[in-house]
Structure 1
């Protein structure tokens, strides 16, 4: 029986390290690693986003919070349960079963402690770019998110 010839492998149309999705995944890995290196492991980046959103809009409900940080409602609920267990937020049940979320004094204090590190982390992430590049990089990230925020992932309001 003759050996079957292997079909030639199809070359990818775009080099891996030029593919936006791959680069975004790598950028996310770098950002998360830098977050933990700079701020420690007391909270995750998503937990930090929840705390910051509650600082900006105290007393919002879980569904609104999920929309604010572009996270699905079940994940937001899980994060809220964890933050409540850490004593960083309080979840209050509202009449229609919604939950109102409020930072505790401990949550406010944690955010106050994290601000210098978060500022340092942001400066570090952009340090090798000049001011114009930094502004353009952030502008393009915002534009990308805005243009692609069509419900495929948890949409932000």
Structure 2
């Protein structure tokens, strides 16, 4: 016999980290577009340009690891950025199947032009917290994304396309491999 609504265990969404992180991501993406415009880059494209600005000439696999993406998404996004004239993808002579990536002058200009909006976004997002909570919030987020099992190196083998396997499915295989 199915449970009635009164018999079901209540689920408080505000106590679920996944729900809160999804909502936080929605807020961040909306703020990104409000501050840099919808005709500009996507947040993902921006992240790739920042990583390339800081690491010119790296290969796509290394770029994927730096921004915590799977290789195919990184490659697809790099193709789009190249089509916009923002990056150059050159075949690595030493690694025949890999490509070395660099910003073009136009890519550098786009990135520089976005900095004011990006700083405004950061200020607006952090303003949601008291000044003494802002650095703690950033530190906790860094700790969370850098925790064991959260780094691209640890999870890369478990990513298929854009979806990672549930952590419960990974637990047994990791224990056996350590």
TM-score (norm 1): 0.89
In 1, Cα distance between equivalents of 2:64 and 2:107: 18
* 1:49-103 Cα shifts (integer Å, max 9, x gaps): 0000000000000000000000000000000000000000000011222100000
Residue 139 of structure 1 is matched in structure 2 by: 139
RMSD: 1.8
Counterpart of 2:3 in structure 1 is 7
Instruction: Report deviation, 1:26.
Output: 0.2
Report what 2:102 is aligned to: 102
Structure 2 equivalent of residue 112 of structure 1: 112
2:45 corresponds to: 47
- Secondary structure, counterpart of 1:28 in structure 2: helix
Report runs of 4+ in structure 1 exceeding 6 Å deviation.
none
Residue in structure 1 matching 2:90, options 86, 89, 92: 92
The unaligned stretches of length 5 or more in structure 1 are none
Q: Which residue of 1 aligns with 2:34?
A: 37
Residue 23 of structure 1 corresponds to which residue in structure 2?
20
Shift of 1:130: 2.4
Between Structure 1 and Structure 2, how many residues are aligned? 150
Name 2:175's counterpart in structure 1.
none
What TM-score comes out, normalization by structure 2 length?
A: 0.79
SS of residue matched to 1:90: strand
Gaps (5+ residues) in structure 2? 165-178
